[in-house]
Chains A and B, each alone.
Chain A
Amino acid sequence: MREIEYREAIKEAIIEEMDSDRRVFLIGEEIGVYGGSFKVYRGLLDRYGPERVINTPIAENTIAGAAIGAALTGYRPVAEIMAIDFTTLAMDQIVNHAAKIHFLSGGNVNVPLVIRTQGGVGKGVAAQHSQSLEAWFYHVPGLKVVMPSTPYDAKGLLKTAIRDDGPVIFIEHKKLYSVKGGVPEEEYTIPFGKAEVKREGNDITIFAYSNMIIKSLEAAEELSRHGISCEIVDPRTLVPLDINLLVDSVKKTGRLIVVSEACSRGSVASDISARVTERAFEYLKAPVKIVAGLNTPIPYNSTLERASIPQVNDIIEAAKKIL
């Protein structure tokens, strides 16, 4: 299979969906000549013109609102919020409107909308550009939350997101854009709510998503050299969540480590831990271990930055502790 970058995979999904459905359009900051701040949209302005690649002023709440308005009136917008840190400025439209309209209409009205954004640590961009805020969206009923870890998943899930009746929050990781992976030439989609086992194992289940999949795979490789076999479960979509696959894996291994870059307090990780404990308590041979970001804003200094989120070694240490 050919290998392409995560950013390319996302762009291919956009192109295929825009080519097949004229209702799909793009809206956001710096998505025109600049091609998006991570160059995902390079060339799309030339290909589709300014009517379908709408470059906006810096106004996140109105970008989200405009996308909702268009979604209500027959279009299928893909809005980009340049960084998840800036979705905080769009929270009213996302939380009070996008997430509620379907419900409030008695299920009669859909909001077929995708909001693409990126988060995460790793480039020294400090406290206002490094956050992992997926728990905010995970918390709000009415939103779907997608966090792909590979180019393959990114493409297949984004195509599904665009065809979905929404609203979908599609969260990328800034460290993943240049990561390459196999993506077939033929068309495919990946359904929401279907986790994938990224590595099979018997001793410990590791639940991770987004960039933490890469670190978990490294940790599992290292642990296998010490005779410890890890099974890595990537949910791919946090909402809807494939809890059954995870619970089945935990029933098999009897141990669970939940890895998340986001800080631990009020996190997806702590919720997963609670949900698995509820469903598989009698199978657990050790308490669930959470390996998460520290409860701190992300520092600029590279040593402190590294220390504030899980590293491969933290996962290895956690595994040794619960065995």
Chain B
Amino acid sequence: MVVLSDKEAALSDRKKIWMLEKLIEIRKFEEKAILLYRAGKIWGYLHPCIGQEAIPVGACCAIKKGDYIISNHRGHGHCIAAGADIRKMMAELFGKSTGYCGGRGGSMHIIDMEHGILGQNGIVGGGIPLSVGAGLSCKMDKKGSVTLCFFGDGASNNGVFHEALNMSALFKLPVIYICENNMYAISMSSKDSVACVDIGKRSCAYGIPGHIIDGSNPIEVYGAVSEAMELARGGGGPSLIEAKTYRFYGHHTNDPAEYRSSKEVEYYKSTKDPVVNFKRKLLEEKIITAGGIQEIENKLDRKIEEAVTFAMDSPEPELDEFLKEIKE
């Protein structure tokens, strides 16, 4: 059992302010991206993680240089929390040559080796098996590195989840499996897709620790992940963390999410908004003032605007270069 107060006590005020900044940065980045999508500047699929930001933020608060991140289609938050450059992310969403994938991947395929981000993924569950290999590398490197593997409730029903957890447990790999249970896989409620009540309890099947936590609270996420980190870095093998959460928008920008009741959406928005709740918490704890929060907001607004300007001003990828690469 994670003792939250101990974990929280270990967190400096500076770290908590970092968390708040990252929460707001992810929120603002995606709000902007949605507007740009609607304005026709971005196309393809764009899956916002708004409402779920506390999971990547809490988790990445516990990582060190050398750790790896495996993301999925709803991955902007993972990238930003792990340190990716939002200018290059925005440029990628615009399909520009300065983007993380040189404009070839778009929103769903950002990969940033500098920050250990082994890639988002358009295939549900597609990243989960990679965790075994990254975990093996961490183990063989003997530097105490850990792999964080993020995925959704939907992905946890795929065979790869079970194969990978079994193998990681068997080989005692330093991998932390973080299931972001936002209660839906597109329209499918996890009540209708997961045969047990809590995905976190599936850890029993592999003899590894399972944590079931409130994914709207970055401190709680940090607590569970840092506990799993200690175990993993000490050679104790993987853990499974189920973070209960909610996505405030549809599955992607074109999904009106008619399958959810407005009452349900309102409930989560009004009680489980990680940005609102964490601001309140830090204000109550007098870690920051309202003026301090405003400064952060202003700073991040500028940062997002700069990222958009960078993306807009960046050149398109060279067609000739692309064609030249294709040898036959």
Binding site for B on A (CB under 8 A): 29-30, 32-34, 37, 55-59, 61-62, 85-86, 89, 123-129, 265, 294-297, 299-304, 307
Within 8 A of A (CB), among B141-161: 154-155, 157-159
Given A30-B188, A265-B328, A302-B95, verify A126-B106 contact (CB < 8 Å): yes
| Contact present for B45 and A125 (CB under 8 Å) | yes
- Find A127's partner among B95, B105, B159, B185 (CB 8 Å cutoff): B105
Binding site for A on B (CB under 8 A): 43-45, 95-96, 101, 103-106, 108-109, 121-126, 154-155, 157-159, 185-188, 192-194, 258-259, 316-317, 319, 322-323, 325-328
- Taking A295-B328, A300-B44 as known contacts, 9 extra A-B pairs with beta carbons closer than 8 A to each other, sorted by chain A number, are A33-B258, A56-B193, A57-B158, A58-B124, A58-B158, A59-B157, A62-B159, A302-B95, A304-B317
| Contact present for B326 and A294 (CB under 8 Å) | yes
Residues of A within 8 A of B155 (CB): 58
Chain B's nearest CB lies how many Å from the CB of A92? Answer: 10
- Find B122's partner among A34, A59, A128, A294 (CB 8 Å cutoff): A128
| Contact present for A61 and B43 (CB under 8 Å) | no
- The dominant DSSP class at the B interface is loop
Residues of B within 8 A of A297 (CB): 104
Given A34-B187, A295-B328, verify A124-B106 contact (CB < 8 Å): yes
| Contact present for A301 and B104 (CB under 8 Å) | yes
- Which residue in chain A gives the minimum CB-CB distance to B259? A33
| Contact present for A61 and B159 (CB under 8 Å) | yes
A302 to B316, CA, bound (A): 10
| Contact present for A59 and B106 (CB under 8 Å) | no
- Which residue in chain B gives the minimum CB-CB distance to A128? B122
- Find A295's partner among B185, B317, B326 (CB 8 Å cutoff): B326
A37 to B185, CA, bound (A): 12
Residues of B within 8 A of A296 (CB): 322, 325-326
Of B95, B157, B193, chain A has the most CB atoms within 10 Å of the CB of B95
- Find A301's partner among B45, B103, B192 (CB 8 Å cutoff): B103
- Which residue in chain A gives the minimum CB-CB distance to B101? A300
Residues of A within 8 A of B123 (CB): 85-86, 89, 128
| Contact present for A129 and B319 (CB under 8 Å) | no
A29 to B155, CA, bound (A): 12
| Contact present for B104 and A57 (CB under 8 Å) | no
| Contact present for B158 and A59 (CB under 8 Å) | yes
Chain B's nearest CB lies how many Å from the CB of A262? Answer: 15
- Find B44's partner among A32, A86, A89, A124 (CB 8 Å cutoff): A124
| Contact present for B122 and A58 (CB under 8 Å) | no
Residues of A within 8 A of B192 (CB): 55
| Contact present for B122 and A126 (CB under 8 Å) | yes
- Which residue in chain A gives the minimum CB-CB distance to B187? A34
Residues of B within 8 A of A295 (CB): 326-328
